Each structure stands twice: as structure tokens, then as C-alpha cells.
Amino acid sequence: MSQTEDKLLEHNYDGILEYDNPLPKWWVWLFILTVIWGIGYFFYYNIAEIGPSQHEEYLAEFNTGSADAMRLIQQMNEKWAAIAYVPITDNDALEQGKAIYIKNCVSCHGANGEGGIGPNVTDNYYIHGGGIENTMNVIINGVPEKGMISWKPLLTPEEVQLVASYILTLKGTQPANAKAPQGELWEQ
């Protein structure tokens, strides 16, 4: 009991008494080391200017990132330059195309291609042209003004070819609740 009374300070604020508890020694030394480190950091970067400034670090990181991005864009362009605009007729490949269609296209074009937010893909009317080449170009580049994203960064060229080939198999299927024709009649 006498130890507690010795630690009490003379301060008394509305009946609240204050103890005189010193900080732990490890905390005091950690604080001193932090202050010393902070002074050294300030000297290194601001007074002696030995280390790079924030702006210099930003430019170095930006240039590294730009070079990496340009290399990736070049690789992607090379990959897309070799794309074949030929419809696939193999049943297993068309099943893969159907899986891609179900995963990515159903929400706008319907489960059977009947249309919804997007146009009906089962009739002979096309807004951006029919056939494999036009269909693949619409998938690759998208139609931003109509809300269709470019699938180029999300699908490989092979996947685009598979899904476009599957979409061509939907032509003439006449699903229930099909959306009215949009665009112009396409004759191949």
C-alpha cells in the first residue's frame, strides 16, 4: 500500500489522481533509436541529397513500368497478328466455344443467342456485319458506344475464334423470345 502512495503525484483534478509510472526501458530506447534514425534519414535524403528524391524514384519506377508495359503490348500485338479468321467446325472445339459463350456472353445476348441487352445473334441481321471475320472483330474490339467491352485483354485469340465459331452455329436457330432484328441483312 505504501508503494502505491509513493507513486501518486500531487496533482488532483476533481478527485482524479495521477500515478508517476515511468515508461519501460525498452520503449525509451526504441524511441531514442527512432529519433536517431529519423535524423539520419533526413540528413541522407534532404541535406546531403545522397539518396534519390521522391520525384526521381517516381520517374525511375515509371520508366521501368513503361518499358515492361511496352514489351507486354508488343507481345500481345504479335500474338493477335497471327489470328486466323476461319470458322471452326469441330464439335469438341464448338463445345469449348459454347462454354466461353455461357461464361461471358449470356448476360447480354441470352442463353440461346436470342438477345437481351445485346442484339440477337441468331438471325441474318447484323449491326456490324456478319461472318467469322466481323464477328471476331466485334469480340476483339468491342462496341464501347453500345456497352460491349473489348474482349482482347480477357480472351486469347484461340478463345475468340472458338466463341465466334459457336456464335455462327446459332444462326437460324430461332429461339423463343428472340429480340427483333437489328441492323442490316447480311449476305455472305
CATH number of the domain enclosing 153: 1.10.760.10
Of the listed ranges 33-37, 58-62, 122-126, the least confidently predicted one is 58-62
In the predicted structure, residue 83 carries a pLDDT above the cut 80? yes
Percent share of the chain, pLDDT over 70: 97
Cα gap 117→147, rounded to integer Å: 9
Cell of 52: 534519390
Please report whether residue 121 resides in a domain.
yes
Residue-averaged pLDDT of the chain: 88
Note whether 166 and 106 are within 8 A (CB). no
Q: How much is the pTM?
A: 0.62
Q: For residue range 137-157, list pLDDT tens digits in order.
A: 999 999 999 899 999 889 999
Assigned domain for 26 exists: yes
110 and 41 part of one domain: no
Per the structure, the count of domains in the chain is 2
Residue 1 pLDDT exceeds 70: no
Q: How far apart are CA 59 and CA 147, in angstroms?
A: 35
> Does a structural domain hold residue 74?
no
**DSSP-based three-state secondary structure for 8:** strand
Range of the domain at 33: 2-47
